[in-house]
Structure 1
Amino acid sequence: MPNPRTTVTPAIDLSRRAVILIGSAGTAAALAGCSTDASAGVDAGSQTPTPAGGSAPQEVAKLADIPVGGSISATLDGKPILVSQPKEGSVIAFSAICTHQGCVVKPGNGEFDCPCHQSRFNTATGEVLDGPAPSPLEKIPVHVTSGVVLSGS
């Protein structure tokens, strides 16, 4: 008669491939839950706003709301962007996601400012004026039609 305190555990035969696949699935699930700093309000997996390919242009802002030589914050597909009017009637837009650590960049006094680590960007080019940001803000294609700033080229 078997000892009632003895537990028999069946052996599981896993191949090396099965172990790797199981481990990969767990890692992917763990990474899917990661995000950037909550103050940034942006998921790490989708940091850059992009207009939907092939869809109708979306209204981003009214040209009259953007001061000449200035800029405003806006959203495109629910993601933060910055829109500037360097010269009257000419607009340019950039992702508002800092290239340093993904914080949301804000319009400043003649520049874009990252509140997290004080990176500064040029409002007409998106180029870094002062680091630690390693690269310029990503340009977002926009155009003006009948006084309305629209996504797309």
Structure 2
Amino acid sequence: MERRPCLSRRHALLLPTSAVGVGTLAACGPQEEGSDNPEPLRADDGSVPLDEVPENASTMVNFGGQQPFVLLVRGAGDDLTAYSGYCTHNGCALSQLQDELDCPCHGSKFDADTGEVLAGPATRHLPQIDVVVEDGAVRRVR
């Protein structure tokens, strides 16, 4: 009876992919202090104080519940626009790096002020999310 090798061709072909995956996971450690990728604001009660959202900037907010990440883009005062915090290509949660949003799954990039696609594979801009400012707090409209 012929002996088969310990490593099949199929498994041998998967080795380079596995090595890349392990290297990628190693690069996904905790954020260092002073990182350009700030933690999203938490709004567990469904609202975030408006004064915690900086003017003339964009901020990721975790409103809790299903698909909680929302990008708030604030101008001056109560001027707010909100976008989905999920990639339009495959639905991965985006991370904010200064003026852009990056998709860790496939590399799409979005403008953090407009939600427009900067780099694919995503082809659709981020959809707008309805939010209101009431009593000094930002609430997501469902």
TM-score by length of 1: 0.54
Distance change (3 Å), C-alpha of 1:108 and 1:82: farther
Structure 2 unpaired stretches of 5+:
1-44
2:94 matches 1:80: no
Q: Which amino acid aligns with 2:61?
A: S
Moved over 6 A (4+): none
Q: How far 1:76 sits from its partner (Å)?
A: 5.0
Q: Which residue of 2 aligns with 1:142?
A: 131
Q: Which amino acid aligns with 1:130?
A: A
- Asked if the contact 1:80/1:104 (under 8 Å) is kept, the reply is no
Of the three residues 59, 73, 82, the one matched with 1:93 is: 82
- The 5-angstrom pairing of residues 4-153 of structure 1 reads 59-68=46-55, 69-75=57-63, 77-89=65-77, 90-152=79-141
Q: How far 1:137 sits from its partner (Å)?
A: 1.2
Q: Which residue of 2 aligns with 1:17?
A: none
CA distance in 2, matches of 1:113, 1:76: 21
Rg larger in structure:
1
Q: Cα RMSD over matched residues?
A: 2.1
CA distance in 1, matches of 2:112, 2:135: 23
- 1:52-81 C-alpha deviation (Å, 9 max, x unpaired): xxxxxx833221222221212313543232
Q: How far 1:85 sits from its partner (Å)?
A: 3.1
Deviates more, 1:137-146 or 1:72-81: 72-81
Q: Which amino acid aligns with 1:80?
A: P
TM-score by length of 2: 0.58
Structure 1 unpaired stretches of 5+:
1-57
Partner SS, residue 51 of structure 2: helix
